[in-house]
């Protein structure tokens, strides 16, 4: 019934104006802000995330919705292209052609565990799909069911009050319901944020449907960091401290967590590493997966545990492992293992060639970070950036990959396994294009054209 309602809503949503959709997004943002205290309280109980983090994340979530609303009002999110008729066109007379975008249809969103607001019920996937004019069915993450239900309640109520069509948004729960939705022919695209294993299983189902549909999966990443010799000489201890801060932020539960760092002086680097006791992880499932991943990395050639923090109340420790670049080159599969939690692998390199050899073996990544000389005059950094351009979606300079800003130029995606759709982003205004389908009108009069293509 949920899918039927989404299917029915696709026509009024397609006919809605960008201004109407902007109103709806803003109405939900205001309602979420108004319910902030209640929502954050529920979230804190379910996720163990600290209040400042949850407060900031909700702020980010409503900011994001308003940013899409603003993009709808400015016209930036509705790209049109007009080619007037041209009898002299080089391949023969050209008819009048005007291209716009239409919503792709009902979208299924799989919410993430680690951002209970910003990548969950009313997170980036939902907001960008609604902005595009697509009905959205969200599969709640089982890590925060109460928050999901309460958030969905606020969303449904505020959308209805703002005049959005029935069926524009719905929440479903449970694996079975979500698989049924994934296979439903009325669902036309999927957004997913989570693990490579889980995302790949769902991608395979989407691709095997009688009508295969786009599956936008934001999956795993180890987010390599390169510390150049010049940066090491300039500010080594500060780099090590910055890395630990980014690595252990939020108990390391970020897809942009910098899990691998390549350094020219591993002993010196490790000496500068001071690991904090981690915060409590989101779920016991994540704790178990984290421990297994750390053990898996530790079992690869030449890897040793170099440092560990004391355990937190759940027995989880921050840890740093160490390996030589030569061992990674011999056994590069170690680079495929994402330790989703507060653990990182320090790779010591002995030459620029060895550094680049390791980097070329890194699979597709959301981010790659360069800690280079602050002057920018750093030949190693230039080479590293060139290799990362083959691998990563975002290249970070003298900063850390965690803390992903939402803006027009943001790119959050990359070659597989970072993403199942490397030409798309799941964060930032360009995320809307995942849910838009171009349609060209040839020689059509104003009466038939959508408003944005009519003669002025």
Binding residues among 86-125 for a second copy as defined by CB under 8 A = 89-92, 94-95, 97-99, 102, 104-105
Shortest distance (Å) from residue 376 CB to a second copy? 3
Shortest distance (Å) from residue 256 CB to a second copy? 11
Whichever of 298 and 363 has its CB closer to a second copy, that residue is 363
- Considering only residues 134 through 173, tell me which ones interact with a second copy, judged by CB under 8 A: none
Q: What residues are labeled active site?
A: 218, 255
**Per CB under 8 A, 213 contacts a second copy:** yes
**Per CB under 8 A, 235 contacts a second copy:** no
**Per CB under 8 A, 454 contacts a second copy:** no
**Per CB under 8 A, 389 contacts a second copy:** yes
**Per CB under 8 A, 430 contacts a second copy:** yes
**Per CB under 8 A, 131 contacts a second copy:** no
**Per CB under 8 A, 268 contacts a second copy:** no
Cα 249 from chain centre: 17
Which one of residues 4, 51, 146, 207 is an interface residue with a second copy (CB under 8 A)? 207
Which one of residues 4, 19, 376, 454 is an interface residue with a second copy (CB under 8 A)? 376
Q: What is the 3-state secondary structure (H, E, C) of the chain?
A: CHHHHHHHHHHHHHHCCHHHHHHHHHHHHHHHHHCHHHHHHHHHHHHCCCHHHHHHHHHHHHHHHHHHHHHHHHCCCCCCEEECCECCCCCCCECCEEEEEEECCCEEEECCCCCCCCCCCCCHHHHHHHHHCCCEEEECCCCCHHHHHHHHHHHHHHHHHCCCCCCCEEEECCHHHHHHHHHCCCCCEEEEECCHHHHHHHHHHHHHCCCCCCEEEECCCCCEEEECHHHHHHHHHHHHHHHHHHHHHHHHCCCCCCCEEEECCHHHHHHCCCCCCCCCCCCHHHHHHHHHHHHHHHCCCCCEEEEECCCCCCCCCCEEEEEEHHHHHHCHHHHHCCCCCCEEEEEECCCHHHHHHHHHCCCCEEEEEEECCCCCCCHHHHHHHHHHCCCEEEEEECCCCCCCCCCCCCCCCCCCCCECCCCCCCCCHHHHHHHEEEEEEECCCCCCCCHHHCCC
Candidates 47-55, 293-301, 303-311, 395-403; binding stretch for a second copy (CB under 8 A): 395-403
**Per CB under 8 A, 447 contacts a second copy:** yes
Which one of residues 41, 55, 415, 452 is an interface residue with a second copy (CB under 8 A)? 415
Whichever of 146 and 409 has its CB closer to a second copy, that residue is 409
- Considering only residues 30 through 89, tell me which ones interact with a second copy, judged by CB under 8 A: 56, 59-60, 63-64, 66-67, 81-83, 89
**Per CB under 8 A, 11 contacts a second copy:** yes
Task: Please tell me the count of residues contacting a second copy according to CB under 8 A.
Answer: 91
Whichever of 300 and 394 has its CB closer to a second copy, that residue is 394
- Considering only residues 318 through 347, tell me which ones interact with a second copy, judged by CB under 8 A: none
Shortest distance (Å) from residue 99 CB to a second copy? 4
Whichever of 307 and 362 has its CB closer to a second copy, that residue is 362
Which one of residues 17, 30, 301, 398 is an interface residue with a second copy (CB under 8 A)? 398
Whichever of 236 and 364 has its CB closer to a second copy, that residue is 364
């Amino acid at each position: 019934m949920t899918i039927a309602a989404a299917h029915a809503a696709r026509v009024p949503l397609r006919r809605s104006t960008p201004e109407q959709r902007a109103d709806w997004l803003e109405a939900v943002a205001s309602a979420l802000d108004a319910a902030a205290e209640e929502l954050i309280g529920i979230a804190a109980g379910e996720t163990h995330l600290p209040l400042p983090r949850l407060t900031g994340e909700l702020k980010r979530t409503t900011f994001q919705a308003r940013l899409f609303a603003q993009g709808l009002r400015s016209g930036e999110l509705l790209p049109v292209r007009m080619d007037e008729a041209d009898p002299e066109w080089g391949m023969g007379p050209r008819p009048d052609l005007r291209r716009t975008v239409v919503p792709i249809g009902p979208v299924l969103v799989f919410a993430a565990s680690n951002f209970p607001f910003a990548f969950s019920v009313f997170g980036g996937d939902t907001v960008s799909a609604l902005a595009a004019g697509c009905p959205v069915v969200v599969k709640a993450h089982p890590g925060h069911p109460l928050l999901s239900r309460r958030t969905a309640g606020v969303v449904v109520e505020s959308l209805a009050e703002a005049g959005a069509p029935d069926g524009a948004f719905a929440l479903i729960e449970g694996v079975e319901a979500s698989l049924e939705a994934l296979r439903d022919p009325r669902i036309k695209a999927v957004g997913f944020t989570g693990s490579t294993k889980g995302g790949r299983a769902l991608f395979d189902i989407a691709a095997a449907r009688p009508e295969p549909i786009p599956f936008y999966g934001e999956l795993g990443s180890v987010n390599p960091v390169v510390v150049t010799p010049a940066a090491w000489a300039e500010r080594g201890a500060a780099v090590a401290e910055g890395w630990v801060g980014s690595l252990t932020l939020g108990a390391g539960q970020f897809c942009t967590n910098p899990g691998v760092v390549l350094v020219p002086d591993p002993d010196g680097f490790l000496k500068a590493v001071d690991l904090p006791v981690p915060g409590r992880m989101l779920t016991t499932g994540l704790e178990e997966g984290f421990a297994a991943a750390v053990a898996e990395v530790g079992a690869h050639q030449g890897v040793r545990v170099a440092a560990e923090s004391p355990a937190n109340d759940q027995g989880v420790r921050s840890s740093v492992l160490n390996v030589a670049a030569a061992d990674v080159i011999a056994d590069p599969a170690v680079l495929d293992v994402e330790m989703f939690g507060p653990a990182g692998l320090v790779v010591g390199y002995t030459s620029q060639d060895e550094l680049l050899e390791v980097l070329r073996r890194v699979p597709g990544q959301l981010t790659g970070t360069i800690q280079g000389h602050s002057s920018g005059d750093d030949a190693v950094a230039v080479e590293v950036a060139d290799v990362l351009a083959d691998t990563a979606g975002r290249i970070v300079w003298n900063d850390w990959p965690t803390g992903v800003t939402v803006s027009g130029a943001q790119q959050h995606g990359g070659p597989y396994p970072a993403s199942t759709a490397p030409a798309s982003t799941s964060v930032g205004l360009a995320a809307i294009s995942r849910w838009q389908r171009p349609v060209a009108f040839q020689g059509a009069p104003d009466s038939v054209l959508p408003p944005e293509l009519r003669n002025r």
